[in-house]
Amino acid sequence: MEKVKEALVKLLDKYSVPYTKEDLESELPLQCWRMNRKFVELKKLVTTRIVEDPCLLRFCHLTDEKTALADLLYREFDLCEYVMDDSIAALNAAFTDGRSGSVVVTMKSGVIGSVEVGNQLSSANPEVDRHEIIARRGVASDIVVDTQIPQHSIYLYTDDGVQQFKDTDHELYGLDEKEIEWVRAHFEFLKDKSTAAAHQAQHLHLNKLVEMAFESDKEHKKMAL
């Protein structure tokens, strides 16, 4: 945590953004993944109508057991809403042992989406996620056609095995993708604190959706907001 705070302070100072000690300690839920450029670009493809009239989302996120299923659902539900600029109106979930499963969501606009989640990936492997938007005109995705896993920028093959690297931010070089998301999210927030209420409201809304998903799984019932 200290590393990311240090990076945040450096960025705030560089761009002359005012902040207090309390700002750095704030635990406001900021939905940090929205700062990942891949989601910014996917959203842009939708909002600028490069892909026109989306109909179906295919989202997936698989991790090791250190990430709770609820956290995966929280993130992916938020991404459905953020990328589409829409909100989830109903869902039907099917999980097994609280470790893996899927949710079919219906957005207010009528767009439907599958959210595959699981935390049974070996901890020796990197996370796998995929976000695909299928529209009447075009498909957008954060993985390359004809592949199943996210790519990296560098592959180093030596006798020690394969090492993979994905560095995405020169200003924050040395931080991993999630740390960069955290720093960028807090930086953006401190530039414009007026978004605090929206973040808090979204947090409550997402918690409700996650709760509904587990309820849906338990009751074998589609749940609507």
Partner 1 sequence: MKPVKIAILSLTHGHTRKYFQTLHDNPALDWVAVSAETEEVRDVFYHYGYNTIPCYMSDDEMFDAHPEIEAVVIASANSRHLEQVKNCAKRGIHILSMKIPTFDMNEYAEMMEVVEKSFIVFQIELEMHYNPVVDRMKKLFADKALGKVTSFNATNITLSPVWAFPWQGVPELSYGKRVPLREGDHRFCGGALCDHPHIFDMIRWLTGSDYEYIYAQVGPNIRADIEEEDVILVNGKMKNGVSFLLDPSWSRLEERLKVPAPGWEIFPKRMEVNFNISGEKGVMLVDSFGPNVYHNGAPNDRYTVQYTYFDEWIGLIDEFVDCIRNHKTPMINLAWHKRTIEAVNACYESVRKGQPVYF
Pairing of strands 52-62, 112-118: parallel
Q: Select 71 or 169, whichever has its Cβ closest to partner 1.
A: 169
d(CA 115, CA 140): 16
Long-range CB pairs of 153-160 (<8 Å, 24+ gap) are: none
Q: How far is the CB of 29 from partner 1 (least distance, A)?
A: 25
Per CB under 8 A, residues contacting partner 1 are 14-16, 37-38, 41-42, 44-45, 49-52, 135, 137-145, 150-159, 165-171, 173
d(CA 153, CA 22): 37
Pairing of strands 88-96, 52-62: unpaired
Q: How far is the CB of 148 from partner 1 (least distance, A)?
A: 13
Residue 165: helix, strand or coil by DSSP? Answer: strand
Q: Select 23 or 169, whichever has its Cβ closest to partner 1.
A: 169
Sign of CA dihedral 44, 46, 51, 57: positive
Q: Select 95 or 187, whichever has its Cβ closest to partner 1.
A: 187
Q: Select 156 or 204, whichever has its Cβ closest to partner 1.
A: 156
Q: How far is the CB of 155 from partner 1 (least distance, A)?
A: 5
Q: How far is the CB of 159 from partner 1 (least distance, A)?
A: 7
Of the candidates 167, 201, 174, the one whose C-alpha atom is nearest the C-alpha of residue 30 is 201
Q: Select 15 or 65, whichever has its Cβ closest to partner 1.
A: 15
Q: How far is the CB of 26 from partner 1 (least distance, A)?
A: 23
